[in-house]
Amino acid sequence: MIQSSESSESLTIADIARLAQVSVSTVSRILNGKPDVAEVTRQRVLKVIHDTGYSPDVSAQRLASGATVAKSRVITLLFPMDHAEFTQLELDFFIGAAASCSKHDTFFNLMTEPMDADHLLNLFRSGQTDGVILMQIRMDDWRPELLTRHDYPFVMIGRTSDNQHYRYIDLDFDAAVETAIGYLVEQGHRRIGFIARPASARAQQIGPSVRIMSGYQRALERYRLAPLYREVKLTVPDVYEATLELLDEAPELTAIFTVHGASSPGAIRALRDRDRLVPDDCSVVALATERIAQLVTPALTAINFPTDTMGYQAATMLINALQQPSAPVEQILLQPRLAVRESASTPVGAT
Amino acid sequence: MIQSSESSESLTIADIARLAQVSVSTVSRILNGKPDVAEVTRQRVLKVIHDTGYSPDVSAQRLASGATVAKSRVITLLFPMDHAEFTQLELDFFIGAAASCSKHDTFFNLMTEPMDADHLLNLFRSGQTDGVILMQIRMDDWRPELLTRHDYPFVMIGRTSDNQHYRYIDLDFDAAVETAIGYLVEQGHRRIGFIARPASARAQQIGPSVRIMSGYQRALERYRLAPLYREVKLTVPDVYEATLELLDEAPELTAIFTVHGASSPGAIRALRDRDRLVPDDCSVVALATERIAQLVTPALTAINFPTDTMGYQAATMLINALQQPSAPVEQILLQPRLAVRESASTPVGAT
DNA sequence: TTGTGTTCCGGTAGCGTTACCGGTAACGCT
DNA sequence: AGCGTTACCGGTAACGCTACCGGAACACAA
């Protein structure tokens, strides 16, 4: 690129046309990869474009092309940060989604403000975004229905209770809980403490919160275990307290399953303060990203929560849907996968 | 808002004008908060806007208003993810920046693809962004100069070696290292292992890598310590290895300072495998975000790396700069602050 | 009366692009 | 020669909005 470093003033398609001795139409055709243009002309124009460092104005493009066929797309990830205590977990979703967008030549937008229906619709109506990724999905979430009615593209990370027609990617939380507890039972544990997400979240019908508890119910029945759990805010101090409570309620417990890796140090510290070493005197299994699982000492035996992959796939699904709106609705429900690390073992005195 | 739920077809300013019995100009004036419009008219039009759920097309706005005075701004955070091993650290920058944008009614964009000069300029030329936040700044970074020459607004998280005229926010890494080592010396440690960022990063003149080593040099001189360090990739296994090497080289060491909280479990595990408990037999001090410091067991005594705040402030600086381009150039160099937690103590046998 | 503001509002020319229509030249075929 | 057909290209009306100009209506003073 020849730096005509003073020419900072913005070029238009007309300038290029003039310099290349062709019409604007021709330049536009070339820009959009239309046929109907001689190879020699194309080359000449492309050279001018390259030499001048011209780059078409996206606003004008979007306006002229009816904002639907635009070349450069933008998708928005909606992550309401209202209920404060969010964690690294979410962050990895962002990274994954951003990576997919970069790869697919799409702008990636992140909005953290909670949104009402008007705001959400305005996002589309004003042409600010071509599609959204919804997070924090509730069982009875109103957003998918609204967006569908207006024919605005979206995908969910999570799913509603009735999700026949929506694109989504989600982890099978019911199964995850069953798998984790099943693993502990298999190791010989019979008295297992369970630390779940706050009851308030469940009351609000947040998908994972609801499904985690239903999975727990199923696990209890299947393995004929007595319930022993706490629903708490997933912070280190809260989990610490909850663990102490569980130990008081059932001093004989030999294992703990917590649904949140990043607050599991709370459990581990509580156990340590009660003179129980992990994993020798008490096993700990979590639901956690690999990153977090590695970070905790001892490294967590955990159901893998592949957040970055999920973010990547969600964005990819959305981008595909934008390109071929008629494409079939993809739905991905990830099955849980347990990674054995250091924090769990067979209970003392087991066969 | 009255849901005329079928009217999904996009409204224009002309529709509003017609419905409100005024001219397009008047609607535009109201939309942009210009004076020169009677209160009663304003109310009437606003009611129509509200009832119909109209929302102006940003593309058209940007196009018409010369893309400079646009109402809704968009800023882009450039974080090249090329050199793979990035960590939670960066993520918190994103969150902070996104939060600031949400608060300031600005679109927050995240791009993870590395960029050459052309791409960077096109971002502005095509009207896709109004300003950028640069990360991964090198001592001799070419980007600030380029953007300045073209008069495109930006701020850096980090700083170059010569940064007189650029907006930036950065942590004083030299001072951070001196502070950490000073603290350990104060506690009575004399033989201190140091784990720094990879030599390759320093060779590439990445700011923090360079400054961290210069800070280390200064600390050695000031406290008359013998050098004892490793420059390694900041992953748990690499840090583990590095720690073992340090222990081999200087079995008498009583403390380790590592510049990266998220890989510090590597050090802690290496010490444990050599039968040294933290902090009793060996102290560990790190440079880490609060979040990470809390996550590691034992909780890390660490120089605080306030990444989310830095991201927030960077975005805020940029937004301000967009609003008042003439405003003085802000430069923020954060001084290190040590937070004492559990991972460091006085060495055995100290006075 | 005329002049001088003020306050409010409408008309319209762009902004940079694309979509569409139509035109010209060259070529091939009957 | 005459008539399609194809390959290429130019002209221009949108797209939805803002900026600017100018005009109507009214008030008030000289």
Q: How far apart are CA B38 and CA B5, in angstroms?
A: 31
Looking at residue B72, its pLDDT comes to: 61
Six-digit token pair at B258?
A: 């590592």
Q: Which CATH number fits domain B173-306: 3.40.50.20, 3.30.2350.10, 3.40.50.2300, 3.90.1150.10?
A: 3.40.50.2300
Instruction: Determine what percent of chain A is predicted with pLDDT higher than 70.
Output: 92
Looking at residue B70, its pLDDT comes to: 54
Sheet holding A106-111, edge to edge: A331-334, A168-171, A154-157, A131-134, A73-78, A106-111, B106-111, B73-78, B131-134, B154-157, B168-171, B331-334
For domain A173-305, the CATH superfamily is: Response regulator (3.40.50.2300)
pTM metric for this prediction: 0.85
| Distance from residue B38's CA to nucleotide D26's C1', rounded to whole Å | 14
A51 pLDDT above the threshold of 50: yes
Q: How far apart are CA B252 and CA B73, in angstroms?
A: 57
Output DSSP code: residue A191.
Answer: -
Cis peptide before A298 (omega within 30 of 0): yes
For domain B73-168, the CATH superfamily is: Response regulator (3.40.50.2300)
Which range of A108-117, A154-163, B175-184, B292-301 scores highest in mean pLDDT? It is B175-184
Q: How confident is the model at residue A89 (pLDDT cuts 50, 70, 90)?
A: low
For testing the chain A interface, which of B11, B87, B121, B125 should be mutated: the one with the most A CBs within 10 Å?
Answer: B125
Question: Is the CB of residue B183 less than 8 Å from the CB of residue B161?
Answer: no
Question: Is the CB of residue B95 less than 8 Å from the CB of residue B311?
Answer: yes
Q: Which long-range contacts (CB under 8 A, 24 or more apart) does A154-158 make?
A: A154/A318, A155/A131, A155/A314, A155/A317, A155/A318, A155/A321, A156/A314, A157/A93, A157/A133, A157/A310, A157/A311, A157/A314, A158/A134, A158/A207, A158/A208
Cβ contact B107–A109 (<8 Å): yes
Closest-CA distance, B306 to chain A, in angstroms, reads: 15
Sheet holding B301-304, edge to edge: B229-231, B192-196, B255-258, B283-288, B301-304, B338-339
Collect the ranges in chain B with pLDDT lower than 70.
Answer: 1-9, 67-72, 82-89, 163, 349-351
Q: How confident is the model at residue A125 (pLDDT cuts 50, 70, 90)?
A: confident
Flag residues 171-200 of A with CB < 7 Å from strand C.
Answer: none
Question: Is the CB of residue B108 less than 8 Å from the CB of residue B315?
Answer: yes
Residue A68: CB less than 7 A from any atom in strand C: no
Domain A13-56: give its CATH architecture. Answer: Orthogonal Bundle (1.10)
Dihedral of the alpha carbons of A40, A45, A48, A50, in degrees to the nearest 10? -100
Six-digit token pair at B209?
A: 């890598």
pLDDT tens, position by position, B240-268? 999 999 999 999 999 999 999 989 999 99
Weakest-pLDDT range from A26-30, A93-97, A194-198: A93-97
A278 compared with B349, residue with greater pLDDT: A278
A69 pLDDT above the threshold of 80: no
Weakest-pLDDT range from A2-16, A85-99, A323-337: A2-16
Six-digit token pair at B86?
A: 């990035």
For chain A, the distance separating the N- and C-terminal CA atoms, rounded to the nearest angstrom, is: 73
For chain B positions 295-334, those within 8 Å of chain A (CB to CB) are 295-297, 299
- The stretch A242-266 carries a mean pLDDT of 96
DSSP assignment of B242-298 equals HHHHHHHH-TT--EEEES-GGGHHHHHHHHHHTT--TTTTSEEEEEE-HHHHHHSSS
Looking at residue A334, its pLDDT comes to: 97
Weakest-pLDDT range from A30-34, A87-91, B330-334: A87-91
A173-305: same fold as A73-171+307-334?
yes
Partner-chain residue, chosen from B98, B121, B128, that has the shortest CB–CB distance to A110: B98
Looking at residue B333, its pLDDT comes to: 96
- The structural domains of chain B, with segments of one domain joined by +, span 13-56, 73-168, 173-306
Residue A332 sits at φ, ψ, to 5 deg, of: -120, 120
pLDDT tens, position by position, A196-221? 999 998 999 999 999 999 999 999 99
pLDDT tens, position by position, A281-306? 999 999 999 988 988 889 999 999 99
Residue B328: CB less than 7 A from any atom in strand C: no
pLDDT tens, position by position, A305-344? 999 899 999 999 999 998 888 889 999 999 999 999 999 9
For chain B positions 89-108, those within 8 Å of chain A (CB to CB) are 91-92, 94-95, 98-99, 102-103, 107-108
Which 3 state secondary structure label does DSSP give A266?
A: helix
Q: How far apart are CA B282 and CA B297, in angstroms?
A: 14
Q: Which long-range contacts (CB under 8 A, 24 or more apart) does A47-52 make?
A: A47/A20, A48/A16, A48/A19, A48/A20, A49/A16, A50/A1, A51/A1, A51/A2, A52/A2, A52/A4, A52/A7, A52/A11, A52/A15, A52/A16, A52/A19
Domain range A73-171+307-334, CATH class = alpha beta
